[in-house]
A and B are shown apart, each in its own frame.
Chain A
Amino acid sequence: MKEAVGSPGKAERIAAPEEVRAAVSSLSEAQLFKLGQLAAMFAYRLGRRPGSPDEDDLLQDAITRILDGRRKWKPGRVDLVGLIAGTLRSITSEILEQRKHQPKTVLECDLPQLDPNEQEITLIQMTADHRPNIEHELMLSEQTTADQLLGQIEGLFSDDALAGLILSEWIRGSSGTEIMGAMGLSRQEFDTAVRRIYRTVRGHWPEGMPDVH
């Protein structure tokens, strides 16, 4: 361990790589599974976008932030799994915030197939030329809208009353505790239903949800 740069007199320390490696190596399979699941969910939350990180990128970024001191880990005092989970959340929030200030891009796989006889319009051309373009407008009109995507998600649970109700309550702004209280669910029943929702959504869009406009 060494003193963090720029904090003279303070007891804040940056964990050395060998110390972090030993801690990672001693995590249980269940803890690693949870981190893997969380990273996958945050990557999924970021959706399909050019340059979007996958779960491996997110985990590597999180551990780098702990090693370079951007996130402080106090061995023995701070739970490493909790710290990595919190760091994954921060990274995801940062990316979502940055996206608010970036021009929108569209993945080629989210665009409708073009007639092979027609000349193809590249993403670079679409990004560079912002003048009205009939073909571009047509493509965007065929890209999934938020309304359509929401309808598709609700449709996935048309035969699962509990999951459908939980989704509706979330959208209304209810918390998990409120939903459990209103529906008389135990924590386990609620959590099981929520994870069923996740598995169903993930199964329907395995590569992440399409970016909507």
Chain B
Amino acid sequence: MSTEMNRKKLEVILDHLVDSVESTPAEELFAEAARSGQDTTQVATRAKDSLLKGIREFEQRKLHAARSAYRARSSELRNRRFTLPATADERRKLLFNSAQNNRLVQRVTARFRDLTELSDEDVDSALEDLMELGAFDEEDTQTDDGKS
């Protein structure tokens, strides 16, 4: 008799054992195990703990993925801010120049009647809003109408 045949026989035995548990109603299985002195509460508690742990870990993985995405986005925005010109005059110049040839900038600055009357804080705030909207992301490739 070949070893391979015996290996198959072993698998058949194990499969039948699994099938027998799967096809037995839970109450019957439970009652018989309790009668035979098995610690049924320990088995049930362990199974419940494992299932609840699986749910908890699934939720944590989802939360972790959302946090990672949020951090990546925040980091990206922070990095953009670092590219702002160093002085208030240079920042104002950037806003004026952009307002002349970038449609998106024109739309955002339209609420101001006269750009020259903006305070330095207003200029910084407008530039930050524009950066978050991606107005300067592809400035090199944009045409006058803001299209790539």
Contacts and interface: CB of A to CB of B under 8 A. Distances in A.
Interface of A: 17, 20-21, 24-25, 27-42, 44-45, 55-56, 59-64, 67-68, 81, 84-85, 89, 145-147, 149-150, 153, 167, 170-171, 173, 176, 191-192, 194-195, 197-199, 201, 209, 212-213
Given A30-B27, A34-B30, A85-B22, A60 B51 contact: yes
- Summarize B's interface: helix, strand, loop or mixed: helix
Given A44-B14, A60-B53, A36 B46 contact: yes
B50 A37 contact: no
B141 interface: no
B78 interface: no
A20 B59 CA distance: 12
Nearest to A96: B11
A170 B12 contact: yes
23 contacts: A20-B55, A24-B55, A25-B52, A33-B29, A41-B17, A41-B21, A55-B47, A60-B50, A60-B57, A68-B58, A89-B18, A89-B22, A145-B3, A145-B6, A147-B1, A149-B10, A170-B16, A195-B32, A197-B17, A198-B17, A198-B20, A209-B10, A212-B7
A167 B30 CA distance: 24
Contacts of A24: 48, 51-52, 55
Interface centre among B27, B45, B58 (most CB of A within 10 A): B58
Contacts of A81: 26
A147 B21 contact: no
B24 interface: yes
Nearest to B42: A36
B41 interface: yes
B54 interface: yes
Interface residues of B, number: 45
Contacts of B10: 146, 149-150, 153, 209, 212
A55 B46 CA distance: 9
A61 B55 CA distance: 10
A59 B50 contact: yes
B59 to A, nearest CB: 5
A34 B13 contact: no
B47 A35 contact: yes
Contacts of B28: 191
Contacts of B44: 29-30, 32-33, 36
A64 B58 CA distance: 6
Contacts of A194: 16-17, 20
Given A33-B26, A201-B17, A63 B40 contact: no
Contacts of B6: 145-147, 149-150
